[in-house]
Amino acid sequence: MWLLRQAVQIPRWRRAGAALYTARVHTQTQLPPSIDPVAARRWQQLPLPHSPWLHEEIARRMEDRLSLITLQPQRWLHWQPLKGGQQAHALLRQRYPQAQAWAHEPDAASQQALQQLGAEEGGSGWLRRTLGGLLGGPVATQFGLPEAGSMDMLWANMALHNAADPQALLAQWREALAVNGFLMFSALGPDTLRELDALYRTLGWPAPAHQFTDMHDWGDMLIQAGFAEPVMDMERITLTFATPERLLQELRELGRNLSSQRDTCTHGRGWLQQLKHGLRTLERDGSIALTFEVIYGHALQPEPRHKVEGTTAITLEQMQRMLRKQQP
């Protein structure tokens, strides 16, 4: 198990104001420069026996931030809950006990696994297990993608940084939200695994992970996707591991190297021993520390803007009436 050694909070709920984003919103936002779409799809479809521990912890911290939001959703969508946090689903059900919850996995295999999980014990096994036996309160979770424009909240924990086309994903999230509905999401930031990245550079190896997008760039993309009033927050969490073996095991549960520049060759025992030896050089006080930068984001679905035509056509008779009215 990881030891949570330190959590350093950087200025909380830094508002993405117009002055910050106006100058950047018209620049072309590029896709993540290093994500391989095929690798991203394989990771998305890979079944996990349980949600990663770190994802659940980040979801708990994000759920705490909901206390700062006055909007009370009546319908909300949990995006990719199998990896994003099954325990987090329980926390959200407890916070909004009368709201209708939806759960959706973006690929067919994961959606089927999600529905099977929900079908256990008479159709509410997942809820019974995650809610710890809380019965008789919440309405059963619905599975699948809800009707467009029907959700008051979309919850997406630790999904955005693994998207090969984040603009398309943001557009899909916005499509699901009703007017004045809001998005809550988290993602890993560029300082994630900085110690491991430095070690790989020392060894002359390609980066251990794809490049993670900066908090301000996510704010730009939210604006470009049509969201309003984005609010961004960031913290760095330091996790410590007792051995190189434990560190590598935990990282495999967290994700994969999705970089298009990753080394795809099969690594032998010698490579693994070299990696473990390098990790031991990072030991301090009997443990190996890794940094995870966690970004939290919140944005609103604004009122639709009515298109104003560039030209207006009037008849000669209408113009004559207007001129007569202007005469004294």
pLDDT (tens digit per residue) in 39-79: 667 777 777 777 889 999 999 999 999 999 999 999 999 99
Contacts 24+ apart (CB under 8 A), 264-273: none
Residue 116, pLDDT above cutoff 90: no
Q: Residues 106, 214, 297, 92: is their CA dihedral positive or negative?
A: positive
Residue 48, helix vs strand vs coil: coil
- Residue 183 · residue 296 · CB < 8 Å: no
Q: What mean pLDDT comes out for the span 185-214?
A: 91
**What does the angle CA 165 – CA 169 – CA 170 come to, to the nearest 5 degrees?**
115
Report the pLDDT value the prediction gives residue 8, as an integer from 0 to 100. Answer: 36
pLDDT classification of 328: cutoffs 50, 70, 90: low
pTM of the model: 0.78
pLDDT classification of 32: cutoffs 50, 70, 90: low
CA–CA distance, 301 with 131 (Å, rounded to integer): 30
Residue 197, both tokens:
């990245």
Q: Cα dihedral angle (38, 118, 183, 109), rounded to 10 degrees?
A: 10
User: If we measure between CA atoms, which residue out of 228, 214, 217 comes closest to residue 305?
Assistant: 228
Report the pLDDT value the prediction gives residue 307, as an integer from 0 to 100. Answer: 60
Q: Cα dihedral angle (123, 128, 133, 138), rounded to 10 degrees?
A: -80
pLDDT classification of 311: cutoffs 50, 70, 90: low
Higher-confidence residue of 131 and 265: namely 265
C-alpha gyration radius of the chain: 24
Report the pLDDT value the prediction gives residue 137, as an integer from 0 to 100. Answer: 47
Report the pLDDT value the prediction gives residue 286, as an integer from 0 to 100. Answer: 92
CA–CA distance, 195 with 182 (Å, rounded to integer): 35
User: If we measure between CA atoms, which residue out of 56, 121, 47 comes closest to residue 86?
Assistant: 56
Residue 121, pLDDT above cutoff 60: no
Residue 233, both tokens:
């927050």
- Residue 90 · residue 61 · CB < 8 Å: no
Region of 30 please: left (phi>0), alpha (psi -120 to 50) or beta: beta
Report the pLDDT value the prediction gives residue 118, as an integer from 0 to 100. Answer: 65
pLDDT classification of 309: cutoffs 50, 70, 90: low
Report the pLDDT value the prediction gives residue 48, as an integer from 0 to 100. Answer: 72
Identify the helix (H) or strand (E) that includes residue 220. helix 215-224
Domains detected in the chain: 3-326 (3.40.50.150)
